[in-house]
């Protein structure tokens, strides 16, 4: 099995999927390229990316989860919100191998060991602030605070494709129950800000898991989920997830059907029902 699968999305954007069922995006400008997220750190991402562009590559992370930040150790320098720095403790080789063995999807092998993932090493981590603009030459990426899924979650708006790359910030399976997630009301504030400021400018929202471009009502559907959770009128469906990591947690889905909503709408939220505020 190929170590990485790529999809040319046009407009100088390449989606890269490595091990761990998570996508990363390479956005190529005239002077430099930006890699958004780094996957789990199994197989040499840095060398692979150098086969896709001859431009210098800067690395930006949407958030600190191990399936997005695990490959950062291939690089000397990355940019991410320092609000997610403490989460990198959950990025050890053991954590990443456990994760690979848990999800057993798009794996290419039956059993993963610590020899298969990159070492944790010192990397220069540069903080990103909301509104920061990175000029790549002929296009620019703007960092957008989209805190909720994690406290330091960021989206990136590309003014050439008019795509908003949202990481795990807003999708059909938005996890808001995690230790590092914000309150629902804080997240709703992020959603409404993105809707007001960025929705009029964007052509599409792009996510990392299972899909690239998502249906255009995703943002509104997730806003609706949060409003329903906060006023107690959501479906309150029990969260049953194949990942044993989540067993026994007090989690519900806002809408019935989980990632594949029964009403066929795209966008759902899983939240901790003991922490609704």
Helix, strand, or coil here: 232?
coil
Over the window 119 to 158, marking each residue x when it contacts Zn ion by CB under 5 A and - when it does not, the resulting string is ----------------------------------------
- Contact present, 67 and 87 (Cβ < 8 Å): no
CB of 39 to Zn ion, least distance (A): 12
CB of 212 to Zn ion, least distance (A): 16
Over the window 14 to 53, marking each residue x when it contacts Zn ion by CB under 5 A and - when it does not, the resulting string is ----------------------------------------
Cβ closer to Zn ion: 168 or 224? Answer: 168
The residue from 15, 21, 41, 65 that contacts Zn ion (CB under 5 A) is 65
Phi first, then psi, for residue 223 (nearest 5°) are -60, -45
Residue 145 CA to residue 197 CA, distance in Å, equals: 11
Phi first, then psi, for residue 262 (nearest 5°) are -60, -35
Interface of this chain with Zn ion, residues 164 to 183, rule: CB under 5 A: 168
- Contact present, 66 and 22 (Cβ < 8 Å): no
CB of 65 to Zn ion, least distance (A): 4
Q: Does 93 bind Zn ion (CB under 5 A)?
A: no
CA–CA distances in Å: residue 166 to residues 36, 86, 199, 231: 10, 21, 12, 26
CB of 177 to Zn ion, least distance (A): 12
CB of 63 to Zn ion, least distance (A): 6
How many Cα atoms sit within 13 Å of 146 on the Cβ side?
Answer: 33
Cβ closer to Zn ion: 12 or 62? Answer: 62
Residue 68 CA to residue 85 CA, distance in Å, equals: 13
Q: By CB under 5 A, name the binding residues for Zn ion.
A: 65, 168
């Amino acid at each position: 099995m190929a170590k990485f699968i790529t999809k040319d999305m046009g407009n100088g954007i390449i989606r890269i999927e490595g091990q761990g069922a998570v996508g990363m995006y390479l956005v190529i400008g005239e002077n430099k390229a930006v890699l958004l997220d780094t996957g789990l750190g199994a197989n040499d991402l840095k060398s692979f990316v150098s086969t896709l562009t001859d431009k210098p590559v800067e690395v930006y992370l949407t958030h600190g989860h191990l399936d997005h930040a695990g490959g950062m150790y291939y690089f000397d320098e990355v940019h991410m919100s320092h609000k997610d720095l403490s989460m990198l403790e959950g990025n050890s080789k053991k954590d990443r191998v456990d994760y690979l063995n848990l999800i057993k999807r798009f794996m290419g092998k039956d059993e993963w060991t610590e020899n298969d993932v990159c070492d944790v090493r010192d990397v220069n981590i540069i903080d990103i602030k909301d509104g920061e603009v990175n000029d790549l030459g002929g296009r620019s990426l703007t960092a957008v605070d989209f805190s909720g899924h994690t406290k330091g979650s960021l989206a990136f708006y590309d003014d050439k494709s008019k795509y908003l790359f949202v990481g795990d910030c807003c999708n059909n399976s938005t996890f808001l129950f995690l230790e590092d997630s914000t309150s629902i009301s804080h997240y709703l504030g992020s959603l409404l800000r993105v809707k007001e400021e960025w929705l009029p400018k964007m052509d599409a929202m792009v996510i990392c898991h299972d899909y690239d471009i998502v249906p255009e009502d995703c943002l509104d559907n997730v806003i609706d989920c949060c409003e329903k959770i906060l006023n107690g009128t959501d479906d309150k469906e029990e969260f049953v997830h194949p990942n044993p990591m989540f067993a026994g947690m007090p989690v519900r889905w806002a809408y019935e059907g989980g990632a594949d909503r029964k009403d066929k709408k795209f966008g759902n939220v899983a939240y901790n029902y003991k922490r609704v505020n």
